[in-house]
Amino acid sequence: MHNVSTTQQFIGFDASYESSQIVLVGAPFDGTTSFRPGTRFAPSVIRPDSYGLETYSPYLDLDLEDYSLCDIGDIELPFGNTKNALKEIQTTITQIVNDNKKPLMIGGEHLVSLPALQSLYEKHPDLCIIHLDAHTDLRDDYMGEKLSHASVIRRAWDFLGDHRIYQFGIRSGTKEEFNWAKEHTYLNPFNLETFEDITIKLKDRPVYLTIDLDVLDPSIFPGTGTPEPGGICFNTLISALKSLTCLNHLVGADIVELSPHYDPSGVSTAVCCKVVREVALLLAHK
């Protein structure tokens, strides 16, 4: 695998690359973080902490041990060069997709989703996104920078176009972003009330799932760069993920924005590990 460093594997991800259905890869990048950096350390913390989990999910009644899952480690990214970092991510994800495997990426900041989306869009031109987040991420630029964690969904819209981006849990953004979303995305602010209805609507479409963990309330998940009060609880997130079992073509996913050092208790990392397990099982089951 191109420019990937091997680390301790996530629990249950011990299959060979050749035999695997799902490929876990870390993208340790936080080069455009605008408030509190540190997401680049998440992949190296998530993996060892995953051994506090069971491989079995009682929520989904599925077990990681029943599937062929591979963890190829972290993509080696050039520090301080955003464009080259994104290029390296896209190269890796494209290889995974071209090998007929599903990528599961752990960030890293939210901008790492962009090259993954570009890779999957090349294979699935009718791709849709389900986006869980506290923030709209719809700025056209952030302080003049087009490639930013604050503009990642806007950059995805550049090639996806209107009404293929479904946003949930959003509770922060500029007035301009909220107004722009009314015309171009399906924005469901504050909660996940319509989530199940949307999954039914998208059941036969190729769907990419991107979860910015700051969608969770900071009382549950303080270990993030831009915490935003008023978020959803863990059980609400799990219920939403369970509803994704109706999707026939969940083609990839990412989980981003854990900054482990802002939560010395380790609770935020434990939450992230559990979300990774559930999403991996959703990808493998379909």
Average pLDDT over residues 238-256: 98
Name the amino acid, one letter, at 164. R
Instruction: Look at residue 143 in the predicted model and tell me its pLDDT.
Output: 66
Q: Considering only CA atoms, which of 112, 119, 106, 109 is closest in space to residue 85?
A: 112
Annotated ligand binding at 110? The verdict is yes
Annotated ligand binding at 184? The verdict is no
Structure tokens at 31: 């080069």
Count structural domains, the chain.
1
Sign of the Cα torsion 41, 232, 274, 266 reads positive
Q: Considering only CA atoms, which of 51, 106, 101 is closest in space to residue 73?
A: 106
Is the per-residue pLDDT at 131 higher than 60?
yes
Instruction: Report pLDDT digits (tens) over 5-60.
Output: 666 899 999 999 999 999 999 999 986 776 688 899 999 999 999 999 999 999 99
Q: Are strands 69-75 and 4-5 parallel, antiparallel or unpaired?
A: antiparallel
Instruction: Look at residue 136 in the predicted model and tell me its pLDDT.
Output: 96
Average pLDDT over residues 256-281: 98
Annotated ligand binding at 133? The verdict is yes
Annotated ligand binding at 135? The verdict is yes
Annotated ligand binding at 261? The verdict is no
Average pLDDT over residues 63-90: 94
Using 50, 70 and 90 to split pLDDT, how confident is the model at 144?
low
Looking at the chain, the number of H-run helices and the number of E-run strands are 8, 11
For the ranges 138-147, 148-157, 238-247, the maximum mean pLDDT occurs at: 238-247
Supply angle C-alpha 55, 168, 247, rounded to 5: 55
Q: Transcribe 132-197 into DSSP letters.
A: E-SB----S-BTTBSSSTTSHHHHHHHHH-TT-EEEEEE-B--HHHHHHHHHHSEEEESS-TTHHH
Q: Is residue 28 a contact partner of residue 43, using CB atoms and an 8 Å limit?
A: yes
Annotated ligand binding at 61? The verdict is no
- Burial class of residue 80 in the structure, from the number of CB atoms within 10 Å of its CB (0-12 exposed, 13-18 middle, 19+ buried): exposed
- Can you give the pTM of this predicted structure? 0.95
CATH of the domain at 246: 3.40.800.10
Q: Look up the domain containing 46 and give its range.
A: 4-285
Q: Considering only CA atoms, which of 217, 257, 218 is closest in space to residue 36?
A: 257
Is the per-residue pLDDT at 161 higher than 70?
yes
Instruction: Report pLDDT digits (tens) over 211-235.
Output: 999 999 999 999 999 999 999 999 9
**More confident call, 140 vs 183:** 183
H/E segment holding residue 26: strand 22-27
CA dihedral 137, 276, 61, 127 (to 10 degrees): 40
DSSP 55: S
**How high is the mean pLDDT of the chain?**
94
